[in-house]
Amino acid sequence: MAGHISPKRLYYTIFTALMVLTAITVAVAFVNLGTLNFPIALGIAITKATLVILFFMHLKYSSRLTKLVCGSAFFFLLVLFGLTLSDYLSRGWHTAPGGVSTGAGTRVTIGSASAQPAPGATDAPAGAGR
């Protein structure tokens, strides 16, 4: 059969790399880097996932059709996150003519722990009201 057989050493190397990346992401979690903590943790997770997909799941040696299918998952994931956040994060940037500014939404930034007072935090989710 046409399946690609990787040498055992490759699997051990990838495993070691995944362990090292896990150690790094745990270590970094205890260092306060402000807004950078989130993107760094996510970046390491994406790197680890890529290693698993390419070598453990053999995507590197798969057909182009399989690669396209795999890529489509992440494309649509980005569409989901991108379009949803473009709505929620931009609420409150402008008030429409004749509109009221109260309860129209909150301008928020990802990752900063002190930037937003989370209005309406005691009762309803902020930005949920129109």
Partner 1 sequence: MPNGIVAGADPHGHGHHPALQHHFQTLDQQHEASTLGMWVFLVTEVMFFGGLLMAYLLYRVWYPEAWAEGSLDLDIRLGGFNTVVLIASSLTMALAVRAAQTGAQRATVRWLLATMVLGVTFLGVKVIEYAEKFELHHVPGANFVYEGPHGRQVEIFFSLYFGLTGLHALHMIIGVGLLSVITWMASRGRFSTEWYTPVEISGLYWHFVDIVWIFLFPLLYLVDRAHHFA
77 binds partner 1 (CB under 8 A): yes
Is the Cβ of residue 73 or residue 98 nearer to partner 1 in the bound state? 73
How far apart are alpha carbons 59 and 63 in whole angstroms? 8
Two tokens, residue 101: 């500014």
SS3 128: coil
Q: How many residues bind partner 1 (CB under 8 A)?
A: 64
Report CA torsion sign: 124, 126, 127, 130. Answer: positive
Q: In angstroms, what CA-CA distances link 115 with 1, 8, 25, 31?
A: 58, 49, 25, 19
Compute the least distance from the CB of residue 1 to partner 1, in Å: 6
Compute the least distance from the CB of residue 121 to partner 1, in Å: 7
Q: How big is the CA angle at 17 (ends 14 and 75), to the nearest 5 degrees?
A: 75
The site for partner 1 (CB under 8 A) is made up of 1-3, 5-6, 8, 11-12, 14-15, 18-19, 22, 25-26, 29-34, 37-38, 41-42, 44-45, 48-49, 52-53, 55-58, 62-63, 65-66, 69-70, 72-74, 76-77, 80-81, 84-85, 88-89, 108, 110-113, 116, 118, 121-122, 125-127
